[in-house]
Structure 1
Amino acid sequence: MREAAAAFAGGPDALEEILLGLVADVDRAVSEPLEVFPVCHHSPASAIAMARRLREKQPKVVYLELCEDMAPLLTELRNCRLPVAVQSFATGIDGFPAEWAPLSVVAPVTEASAEYQAIAYALDTPGVELVLVDRSSDHVFQWDARPAPDPDAPGAGGEARPADEEAALHGDAVGVEIGDLRPRFAELEEHLLRHGKVRHWSEWWHQYVELPLGDSDHDTYRQVMLLIGSLFRRLAPGDTHRLRVDEDRERYMWTRMREHLAATGTDPEDCLYVCGAFHAVSRVEEFGVAGGGSFEISPRTATRWLHGLIPSSHAAIEAQFGLAPGSVSIAATQWAKNLKRTGVKPYVLAGQGGRRRSTAKKTAAPAPVPAVPPSDRLTGFLRQPPVLDRLDEAELLGWSVEIVRAARRNGYLASTADAIAVFETSILLAGMRDRARPTPYDFQDAAVTCIEKDTVPGRRDVRRLVESMMGGDRVGQVGYDALPPLARDVHDRLAPLGLKLEQRGVRRALLDIAARPELEACSDVLWMLRHLLPEGAARTVMGERKLGERSIQESWDLALGTHQRALIELGYEGVSIEQVLEQRLRRRAYDPKATAATVLTTVEDATLYLGSRRLADELGGRALEVLSGERSVDGAPEVLRGVRRLLAYFRTAEPVLPPWIEAFTKAGYAHYCTLLPTAFTDDDAAVRHVSAMLGFLFGMEALALSLGCDRTQLELAVAQSHPEDPAKKALLWAAQAHLGGLTRERLRARCDGLLGNPLTVAAYPQYLSGFVHALEPVPQLTDFVVEAVSNAFGRLPDPVLLPWLPTLITALRKDGGDLAPLLIREAGRIFPGRLAALDTWVPPWLDRPEDPAARPAAGGGDGTGGCALLAAHPETCDAVAGLLGCEDGWRQAGAGPSGAALLRRHPDTARALEALLTDG
């Protein structure tokens, strides 16, 4: 005490002031007419003392430190298997920052907790009223300053279990419990751990508080807990925000209790106030029935809170509240041990689910404690030495044998000698740590030392084996009657499967929809659950659902019992999974950061899972609105794929296309035409983005033109594009070839020029990458891309080919993975199928007929042949003349001044036209 006072209270002279303050705090709490019962969360000693005191006092009103808005849910604990958590949940928040959503508050309840004893007593005893007096869930966040996490805070270093499936049962909820009794800053906790020769706070509490108080009488228990609470309170640091919140909670609770006493006229002597030991020694002005003060409780915000029960587990409680792994399981074992030793009969809610029937033999009640004045009981308790009784020794022997058996099952080479070593080492460690009897933590260290040595042959190390042996991680379950309507509806609709889906673990469901059409409704539910629940809750093994396709047989792995919390939280969002899915789709579509691709995905999901044409039309209109406001092309590939799927579906499933998709096609055509020149030159726009834009423009061109779009806009956009990147250049050439502005021969000549120029050979793989991406908008160029690749391998020597071959492979793998199958199929069609045929094989691009345009023109080179041809076809001449704006002189066979002059100026055109017609 002197060292602590010197370190944390300004000097050793402060010890007298601290001791006098402790006595004053205890006297104030003990002399209060409304009995204050201090507890610590999940403490077996507190639970034993609570059960004993309730049977002695039989209070008519129990005031409990728990969020007052959670009271209606407590009766549903009858339908659950502990541990579970009472939860307050809010998705649509009003009055809090939007980034806090969703808001969640949980209060875990275990069987070995004082709050459960008080709840069970109040709910099952006629004439007893249970009143929750702590701040509401709304006030929890009203008073929350959301500070940054402190790595030096208690519990931040090494005690919490790593996040796993069981530790995540509470999610990101804020945890509230009765009796958060722990030093309020790391230095004091470190001081206690060092002088107590323990590793973490859970072990300190078990050794120095839990075990001594397990057999104590009520007055001793109460005074010790008040002393601890007062000590931690007086040595608390100057955290003004936390101190203000603690004091406001105490003012809140005493204000609520005085209001209830005034409204009901209950005698304070018939009441019991159950709160944490830290709050039991409060020094606020409102403390006590006769307290003063004018504390005003602020109104709640407009946030709509929903309440329910979710499954909890020992690991989840330990992870959320910074306790050592296995400490809650050890507390449950200590609870059962205390019940056997003291003979106290605990309170249990009638109809409580999941309780194991006790097979322990009835033990005689302990000998009555001689009557001692209350003032002397604390002194005797502090002076009595701990004793290693025969029961603890027998228990240690049993543990030693059991851990060796468990180790051998998990691959360790353990023997009877190891059991003896564990037993003796446990006693040795306890002696080295100044303990009269080994604790479970001493036994755990001894088992690791004697059995594990340096390797772990199995999946679990010895420390985890000890935790399992002490009771393991017990996981609670919310019963069917306590589930929200949505969860009950899901279980009812999946009842035809004939599986016990409420149990934990994976259940295999086989759906033969062709033989049992009634299972199609189950399939619909499962697909929606797969979309809404976390991965693993509903996993499809066989079967798929796409637009316009339905499986006739499906196989599912279901773990709804394991993911019960997620299913329950769906019930906070709606009364059916269809309603929840519709709300989530709307929320995604109308999110300020939503893109056109995201909204199109919601349209597809609405059609696929809900079959709602109304919702699909609404979300389609939202997609059109978002697309019109986008100035980036990042989502072009996803937009292209989404529109293609939806368009293919509506063309086969609907008599006419929905109006929104027609409007989307028109707007998208104009939108991408506008952005195309910029995208070709923008370094931030990747090749696949530009390729997707062209894919939309070329693929939707027929529909867009039929709806009134102008193709000239696309031609102008392509003509205005001047990329510098080699891949984009190749993409532009492919677009020009599709539009007719570039022939195959000219495209082939450009590729030949790239291969023949030493300055451009190094960039040839990038050009090929552009050509591969061009297969998306221009798939008819597949044979040309095969030709371009083949020419490179056939013409270039190895010293030139091999250095850029890795670049080519990397480019094709990175950017053309989806389009590579097209090239492979085309190459398989072009190249011979047998090796023997390769010697005589001639590539088709080398075995082509002579170009008619290259032959000399008939009738000479002065254009007279062309004149004769034009004179032989006057109607064609008149039509061409009308297009060119020439009205006179064409009917004479070249005699007219206009015709002769025009032919003399453009002889190549006349010869080309004549060659084309005569060749045909």
Structure 2
Amino acid sequence: MTGATRVPAAAGAQAPFEALRGRLQQAAAAFADGPGALEGILRGIVDDVDRAVREPLEIFPVCHHSPASAIAMARRLREKQPKVVYLELCEDMAPLLPELRNCRLPVAVQAFASEVDGFPAEWAPLSVVAPITEASAEYQAIAYALETPGVELVLVDRSSDHVFQWQPGGRPAGPADADPDQPPAEEEAALHGDAVGIEVGDLRPRFAELEEYLLRHGRVRHWSEWWHQYVELPLGDSDHDTYRQVMLLIGSLFRRLAPGDADRVGVDEDRERYMWTRMREHLAATGTDPADCLYVCGAFHAASRVAEFGVHGSDTFTIGPRSASTWQYGLIPSSHAAIEAQFGLAPGSVSIAATQWAKNVKRSRVRPFRLAGQAGTKAPAKTAKSAKAAAAPAPAPAAPGAAPPDRLSGFLQRPPVLDALDEAELLGWSVDIVRAARRAGYLASTADAIAVFETSILLAGMRDRARPTPYDFQDAAITCIEKDAVPGRRDVRRLVEIMMGGDRIGQVGYDALPPLARDVHDRLAPLGLKLQQRGVQRALLDLASQPELKPCSDVLWMLRYLMPPGTARPIMGERRLGEQPIQESWDVALGTHQRALIELGYEGVSIEQVLEQRLRRAAYGPQATTATVLQAVEDATLYLRSRRLADELGTRALEVLATERTVDGAPEVLRRVRRLLAYYRTSEPVLPAWIESFVKTGYAHYCTLLPTAFTDEDATVRQVAAMLGFLFSMEGLALSLGCDRTQLELAVAQSHPDEPARVALLWSAQLHLGRLSRAELRARCGQLLGNPLVVPAYPRYLSGFLHALEPVPQLADFVVELVSNAFAVLPDPVLLPWLPTLIGTLRAGGAELAPLLIREAGRIFPGRLAALDTWVPPWLAEPAPALAAAPGAAGQQGAALLAAHPATCDALARLLGCDGGWAQAGPAAGGAVLAARHPATATALAALLDG
């Protein structure tokens, strides 16, 4: 690291911190048995404070969301009234700050890049947020600069692009990279999404052992409680010099005791060089006197030791160019929970800080700065004391090189002030938490309120505090009220947080929204909903009687497609190709998902434009498949009603199909092509050229892949059945377009599967093509059922036949016959172990085809139980295959029998229309002729007479 350059004291004057240096040297010698590393650290801390307070450009160290920092900032701004405020915030976010007037805090300033150039593609989208609350020093500085004429606000921190350029080893971890074992964050805690958080005043020990030591000896649970107890409360009423020196001391301590992570140290120092370089550039360009400026930064950076520090620092740092990524900027809603989750703060700490801020404002009589028209805030009344303080002239600036007196010595030597117990406040807390607990389902009573009151005092006393803090009260409430289980949605810890101020959620006003979001609000205005309001609202659309609401329906369907689940959820009504809705009912939560709507505005100026971009991106992406492109075609037709875009994407689907070498998406391709064909046949006079080419190409494509797919282990039976379904259902159209049926017949003939389900599928295909009769198929299945070695595999054959209903739906009655025969023939010892396998196979392999099977079974089987005893299955009522054979010996026996009984033969001949046969040829010849004409009847009659 670059060493510090000490500014010498004025001639004849003693340095203000010499006495403190001497005492720290003595302490180091006493505790460390002689001067050494400890002395160097302690003296270095004092040197850092001395250097910062002597800087001609006043440095104001802050901690993010610290009420003490906010009060000190408001007080100092009214005293000093600087003409230029330098703020540690990404410099490219400056144009957005005036829009804070149209928002309700807390909100976050966001930089967003959906398409990156110069960064790895897997980083996209890039997002940086800087949350702002009312109880923060940066908001006081922003409000002062924007509301005071003649004051310039200059953001001096690195740009959003540099935030990612300077990340060591890759993209920084965000909320999306959290521990997967942790429970998912609540909706309010996820308002920032996966954005990288930027905060002014990141002040926390980076040395784990130091933080553990402070927590253990401070008798606190987490860092937020330590800061509240040992920094916030003591500095809440301190003067300006004491506040600055103490914050500089803490920043220097944490900086010098930080672990030697070269990458992180390098980024911190580069940020400091960047900021001081920007400030010197501005001073040189404007000629502003440094005494009229104020530099607001985190205490960690205020104690910097880089060579570029100060207005007289070196100018050796070169700021690199930004990448070619296109950045969009906007304001998104934030919340206390989102800030706590993103920056690792204890739950409820930001809410407690907001409560402490309100107390500090009331106690100190400091009039904070607020933006005019700020939603959700009310400017405090201007008392006589505050008006007098505001009208007082600013003190004369200190001479360059001069420093304020030493306030650290007195602060470090002063014993902690023990605030007296405020019984009224604690009693109010105790009563309120019991009331809230009862509403949440706890069996709390007055005795619990008394117990919470006494336990709070007890815990505070054990922790050397006379006055219980909100954290002591929270622990006491959990101990006394929360028993074995939480009866409702919220535990006692959450109830205390709500009681102390709750998770305040910000809102971006209409005027600060991007054009797309304002357009959505305008187009949904006829619904009469409060779209800015959080929560779910019900919208009823009677499109038959109010056709003017159809554009609202279109917007809601597009929002459902583009926005996160729950933004627009249809309760009644659906959108399908070729159908016109009559009534719709929606649950709309646009205010709850305002961040997603704002980020949608970064992609375009209208939702139609964004939807078209998304569809093109899905169709032309490197992972695009034929099924995904066809889905894009359907969505373009369904939501945009764009024939131009649908034709373009359909041509793209044809290109993707020609390059595919697998059949993974065949079921989805078949389903979507069938749906698109049905739509175009009913709504268009002729089919689009692309879909005709798609059917023609698909027919040849799947014929080519069919023999391989039958034997490929990676291809499932459902995928092969989908291929056959495409070939059989599109055959008529394909042949009319010039395809050759011989190609399909050859593909089936070249298929030789071994797996039972695929064998059954092949038999079904052969039946459809006429290469196999149903009688022959029945005989093959009968042989399977009669072979004990094949019976265990019979369910897999059934699975194949069930999938065959996709390409050959007329086989439904035959599948019912196969299942019925199995239940009729197999004995219980074989059937019962086999039955679970059959049910599992049917459920896993063809759940969507089961309704077709059930309908066919309902048609075949009798509807009443009484009719079952006399019912004969249709397949048993059919004649046996042997009866249809040509007459042989049985036929000759029938002819002889007819000749032996001429009277019977004549009667039968008259019934069959064969009069006069005996006269010409004689009885024997006539019987032979008759038997030849009706062999089945002759054989049956012979069998009957022989019996």
Deviation for aligned residue 1:293: 3.6
Residue 426 of structure 1 is matched in structure 2 by 456
Residue 714 of structure 1 is matched in structure 2 by 744
Q: Which amino acid aligns with 2:209?
A: E
Q: Which amino acid aligns with 1:58?
A: Q
Residue 439 and residue 157 in structure 1: after superposition, are their counterparts in 2 closer, same or farther (change >3 A)?
farther
Q: Which amino acid aligns with 2:99?
A: E
SS at match of 2:575: coil
Instruction: Pick one of 156, 161, 178 that aligns with 1:133.
Output: 156
Q: Is the 8 A contact 2:559 2:568 kept in 1?
A: yes
Residue 885 of structure 1 is matched in structure 2 by none
SS at match of 1:50: helix
Residue 823 and residue 362 in structure 1: after superposition, are their counterparts in 2 closer, same or farther (change >3 A)?
farther
Residue 384 of structure 1 is matched in structure 2 by 414
Instruction: Pick one of 628, 631, 648 that aligns with 1:598.
Output: 628
Instruction: Pick one of 363, 372, 388 that aligns with 1:341.
Output: 363
Instruction: Pick one of 510, 513, 517 that aligns with 1:487.
Output: 517
Deviation for aligned residue 1:10: 14
Residue 79 and residue 366 in structure 1: after superposition, are their counterparts in 2 closer, same or farther (change >3 A)?
closer
Deviation for aligned residue 1:405: 1.6
Residue 679 of structure 1 is matched in structure 2 by 709
Give structure 1 stretches of 5+ with no counterpart.
863-910
| Pair 1:95-2:118 in alignment | yes
Please, what TM-score do these two structures have when normalized by structure 2?
Answer: 0.87
Q: Is the 8 A contact 1:692 1:777 kept in 2?
A: yes
Q: Is the 8 A contact 2:460 2:466 kept in 1?
A: yes
| Pair 1:643-2:673 in alignment | yes
SS at match of 1:819: helix
Pairing 1:598-747 to 2, within 5 Å after superposition: 598-747=628-777
Residue 185 of structure 2 is matched in structure 1 by 163
Deviation for aligned residue 1:145: 2.6
Residue 305 of structure 1 is matched in structure 2 by 327
Residue 127 of structure 2 is matched in structure 1 by 104
Instruction: Pick one of 406, 413, 421 that aligns with 2:436.
Output: 406
* Greater displacement, 184-193 / 17-26: 184-193
SS at match of 1:229: helix
| Pair 1:847-2:869 in alignment | no
CA distance in structure 2 between the aligned counterparts of 1:912 and 1:187, rounded to whole angstroms: 108
Residue 292 of structure 1 is matched in structure 2 by 314
Residue 684 and residue 709 in structure 1: after superposition, are their counterparts in 2 closer, same or farther (change >3 A)?
same
Residue-by-residue CA offset, 1:180-211 (whole Å, 9 max, x unaligned): 01112323222221222211111111111111
Instruction: Pick one of 205, 228, 237 that aligns with 2:227.
Output: 205
Deviation for aligned residue 1:391: 7.4
Give structure 2 stretches of 5+ with no counterpart.
1-23, 390-394, 396-402, 893-930, 940-947
Q: Is the 8 A contact 1:544 1:550 kept in 2?
A: no
CA distance in structure 1 between the aligned counterparts of 2:525 and 2:415, rounded to whole angstroms: 60
Instruction: Pick one of 240, 244, 253 that aligns with 1:218.
Output: 240
* Greater displacement, 564-573 / 162-171: 162-171
CA distance in structure 2 between the aligned counterparts of 1:21 and 1:654, rounded to whole angstroms: 82
Residue 28 of structure 1 is matched in structure 2 by 51
Residue-by-residue CA offset, 1:370-405 (whole Å, 9 max, x unaligned): x9x953533333333444445744322221221122
SS at match of 1:592: coil
Residue 713 and residue 395 in structure 1: after superposition, are their counterparts in 2 closer, same or farther (change >3 A)?
same
Deviation for aligned residue 1:147: 5.2
| Pair 1:74-2:74 in alignment | no
Residue 561 of structure 1 is matched in structure 2 by 591
CA distance in structure 1 between the aligned counterparts of 2:667 and 2:378, rounded to whole angstroms: 58
SS at match of 1:518: helix
Deviation for aligned residue 1:428: 1.5
Q: Is the 8 A contact 1:606 1:616 kept in 2?
A: yes
Residue 850 and residue 61 in structure 1: after superposition, are their counterparts in 2 closer, same or farther (change >3 A)?
same
Deviation for aligned residue 1:148: 8.5
Q: How many residue pairs align between the two structures?
A: 863
CA distance in structure 2 between the aligned counterparts of 1:744 and 1:376, rounded to whole angstroms: 105
SS at match of 2:503: coil
Residue 31 and residue 788 in structure 1: after superposition, are their counterparts in 2 closer, same or farther (change >3 A)?
same
Percent identity over the alignment is 80
Residue 871 of structure 1 is matched in structure 2 by none
Q: Which amino acid aligns with 1:138?
A: D
CA distance in structure 1 between the aligned counterparts of 2:240 and 2:168, rounded to whole angstroms: 38
Residue-by-residue CA offset, 1:427-457 (whole Å, 9 max, x unaligned): 2112212223221111100111111133322
Pairing 1:278-289 to 2, within 5 Å after superposition: 278-289=300-311
Q: Which amino acid aligns with 2:253?
A: L
| Pair 1:17-2:43 in alignment | no
Deviation for aligned residue 1:857: 4.5
CA distance in structure 1 between the aligned counterparts of 2:749 and 2:800, rounded to whole angstroms: 18
Q: Is the 8 A contact 1:159 1:323 kept in 2?
A: no
Instruction: Pick one of 254, 273, 288 that aligns with 1:232.
Output: 254
SS at match of 1:589: helix
* Greater displacement, 422-431 / 44-53: 422-431
Residue 821 of structure 1 is matched in structure 2 by 851
CA distance in structure 1 between the aligned counterparts of 2:545 and 2:413, rounded to whole angstroms: 78
* Greater displacement, 462-471 / 851-860: 851-860
Residue 364 and residue 60 in structure 1: after superposition, are their counterparts in 2 closer, same or farther (change >3 A)?
closer
Residue 212 and residue 182 in structure 1: after superposition, are their counterparts in 2 closer, same or farther (change >3 A)?
same
Residue 481 and residue 734 in structure 1: after superposition, are their counterparts in 2 closer, same or farther (change >3 A)?
same
SS at match of 1:846: helix
Deviation for aligned residue 1:793: 0.6
Residue-by-residue CA offset, 1:874-901 (whole Å, 9 max, x unaligned): xxxxxxxxxxxxxxxxxxxxxxxxxxxx
Residue 865 of structure 1 is matched in structure 2 by none
Residue-by-residue CA offset, 1:628-669 (whole Å, 9 max, x unaligned): 111111111101101011111011111111111111111111
Deviation for aligned residue 1:246: 0.4
CA distance in structure 2 between the aligned counterparts of 1:482 and 1:366, rounded to whole angstroms: 35
Residue 897 of structure 1 is matched in structure 2 by none
CA distance in structure 1 between the aligned counterparts of 2:491 and 2:134, rounded to whole angstroms: 28
Residue 454 of structure 1 is matched in structure 2 by 484
Residue 901 of structure 1 is matched in structure 2 by none
Please, what TM-score do these two structures have when normalized by structure 1?
Answer: 0.90
Residue 262 of structure 1 is matched in structure 2 by 284
| Pair 1:515-2:537 in alignment | no
Q: Which amino acid aligns with 1:461?
A: D
Instruction: Pick one of 762, 770, 794 that aligns with 2:800.
Output: 770
SS at match of 2:88: strand
Residue 785 of structure 1 is matched in structure 2 by 815
CA distance in structure 2 between the aligned counterparts of 1:366 and 1:785, rounded to whole angstroms: 95
Residue 472 of structure 1 is matched in structure 2 by 502
CA distance in structure 2 between the aligned counterparts of 1:83 and 1:301, rounded to whole angstroms: 30
SS at match of 2:154: strand
CA distance in structure 1 between the aligned counterparts of 2:227 and 2:724, rounded to whole angstroms: 69
Residue 350 of structure 2 is matched in structure 1 by 328
RMSD: 3.0
Residue 265 of structure 2 is matched in structure 1 by 243
CA distance in structure 2 between the aligned counterparts of 1:403 and 1:912, rounded to whole angstroms: 103
Residue 99 and residue 912 in structure 1: after superposition, are their counterparts in 2 closer, same or farther (change >3 A)?
farther
SS at match of 2:407: helix
Superposition misfits of 4+ residues, deviation over 6 angstroms = 8-12, 148-151, 155-161, 357-367, 858-862, 911-916
Residue 914 and residue 256 in structure 1: after superposition, are their counterparts in 2 closer, same or farther (change >3 A)?
farther
Q: Is the 8 A contact 1:314 1:473 kept in 2?
A: yes
SS at match of 1:375: coil
Q: Is the 8 A contact 1:342 1:366 kept in 2?
A: no
Pairing 1:115-194 to 2, within 5 Å after superposition: 115-146=138-169, 162-194=184-216
Deviation for aligned residue 1:550: 1.9
Q: Is the 8 A contact 2:107 2:335 kept in 1?
A: yes
SS at match of 2:444: coil
